[in-house]
C-alpha cells in the first residue's frame, strides 16, 4: 500500500467511480427483477463447475439464466458454462485481477439479460481485489474449497466479510484433504456471523438443491 497521497487519491477516485456505476446497474437489475450473483474465490475453487451444475438445475425448473465470466485470458469457462444451456459472455481482463462495473455493463450489451431470472457473474479467481469492486450484484457468493485449508476466511477477511453466502466446495474431497469442517465453519463465522454457509460437491451433486433455494430466496 502506497503512502503517496496522489496515488491514494487516484485509487479512491477509481473505487468511487466504480461504486457510482454499480449503483446504476443495481437499480436496473432490480427494476428488471433479475437476481444477480457475484461469484468469487481463489483460482480453481470450483466456480465454473458449480455454476454449470446450478445453471442446469435452474434451467430445468424453467428459469432463464445468463452468465458473465471473467478471466485474464481464454474463453474456456464461458464455453463450459454454456454447456448448461445458459447464455454466456466471456470477459478477458488482460492482466486485471478483478471485474469492475464498467466491464459488466459492457458484457450486458451482448447478453439477453432482460429475459433472465438470474445472472451469474463469475469473477476472476482472486480472494483480494474483487472484494473492493461492487458489480451491482444482489448477492455475493464466496467459494472455499476443502483443499484450500480452513484458514482462508482469517487470511482474506474482507472477501468473506463482504459475502452473503459462503460455499464450502468440493466436499467430496473432504476426507482425503483432511478438512476440519468445524474449524472452517468457526473461522467463517468469526469473520462474518451473518453469512449463510452451504456445503456442495458439483461432481457428486451434493448441496445443489439447497444452494438453488437460497440463491432464489429474496
Q: Which does 75 bind (CB under 5 to 8 A by kind): ligand GTP, Mg ion, none?
A: none
Rg (CA), the chain: 17
Tell me the C-alpha to C-alpha distance, in Å, between residue 108 and each of 14, 114, 127.
Answer: 21, 9, 24
Q: Which does 46 bind (CB under 5 to 8 A by kind): Mg ion, ligand GTP, none?
A: ligand GTP
Binding flag, residue 173, ligand GTP (CB under 6 A): yes
206 φ/ψ angles, rounded to the nearest 5 degrees? -100, 135
Compute the distance between CA of residue 164 and CA of residue 176 in angstroms, rounded to an integer: 28
Among 18, 35, 42, 48, binds Mg ion (CB under 5 A): 48
Rama region for 59: left / alpha / beta (φ>0; ψ in -120 to 50; rest): alpha
Residue with cell 486485471: 96
Residues 94-133 that bind ligand GTP (CB under 6 A): 125
Secondary structure of residue 96 in the 3-state scheme = coil
Least gap, CB of 41 to ligand GTP (angstroms)? 5
Site size for Mg ion, by CB under 5 A? 3
Q: Which stretch binds Mg ion (CB under 5 A): 46-54, 142-150, 151-159, 207-215?
A: 46-54
CA torsion sign, 38 to 42 to 43 to 44?
A: negative
Strand pairing class (139-145; 35-40): parallel
Least gap, CB of 130 to ligand GTP (angstroms)? 11
Binding flag, residue 209, ligand GTP (CB under 6 A): no
Least gap, CB of 6 to ligand GTP (angstroms)? 33
Among 48, 88, 90, 192, binds ligand GTP (CB under 6 A): 48
Residues 28-47 that bind ligand GTP (CB under 6 A): 41, 43-47
DSSP 148-185: G-TTHHHHSHHHHHH-SEEEEE-GGGTTTTT--HHHHH
Least gap, CB of 131 to Mg ion (angstroms)? 18
Q: Which stretch binds ligand GTP (CB under 6 A): 4-12, 60-68, 93-101, 165-173?
A: 165-173
Residues 56-95 that bind ligand GTP (CB under 6 A): 77
Among 35, 65, 77, 163, binds Mg ion (CB under 5 A): 77
Q: Which residues make Cβ contacts (< 8 Å) with residue 107, sequence separation at least 6? A: 68, 89, 91
Q: Which stretch binds ligand GTP (CB under 6 A): 3-11, 150-158, 160-168, 199-207?
A: 199-207
Give me the residues that bind Mg ion (CB under 5 A), please.
47-48, 77
Amino acid at each position: 500500500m502506497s503512502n503517496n497521497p496522489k496515488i491514494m487519491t487516484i485509487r479512491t477516485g477509481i473505487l468511487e467511480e466504480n461504486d457510482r456505476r454499480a449503483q446504476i446497474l443495481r437499480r436496473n437489475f432490480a427494476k428488471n427483477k433479475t437476481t444477480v450473483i457475484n461469484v468469487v474465490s481463489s483460482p480453481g475453487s470450483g466456480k465454473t463447475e458449480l455454476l454449470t451444475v446450478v445453471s442446469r438445475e435452474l434451467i430445468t425448473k424453467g428459469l432463464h439464466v445468463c452468465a458473465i465470466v471473467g478471466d485474464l485470458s481464454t474463453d474456456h469457462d464461458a464455453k463450459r458454462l454454456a454447456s448448461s444451456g445458459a447464455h454466456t459472455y466471456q470477459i478477458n481482463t488482460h492482466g486485471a485481477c478483478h471485474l469492475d462495473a464498467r466491464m459488466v455493463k459492457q458484457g450486458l450489451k451482448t447478453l439477453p439479460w432482460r429475459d433472465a431470472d438470474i445472472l451469474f457473474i463469475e469473477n476472476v479467481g482472486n480472494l483480494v481485489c474483487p472484494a473492493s469492486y461492487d458489480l451491482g450484484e444482489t448477492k455475493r457468493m464466496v467459494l472455499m474449497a476443502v483443499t484450500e485449508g480452513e484458514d482462508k476466511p482469517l487470511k482474506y477477511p474482507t472477501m468473506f466479510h463482504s459475502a452473503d453466502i459462503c460455499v464450502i466446495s468440493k466436499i467430496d474431497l473432504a476426507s482425503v484433504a483432511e478438512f476440519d469442517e468445524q474449524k472452517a465453519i468457526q473461522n467463517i463465522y468469526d469473520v462474518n456471523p451473518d453469512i449463510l454457509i452451504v456445503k456442495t460437491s458439483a461432481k457428486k451433486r451434493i448441496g445443489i438443491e439447497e444452494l438453488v433455494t437460497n440463491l432464489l430466496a429474496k
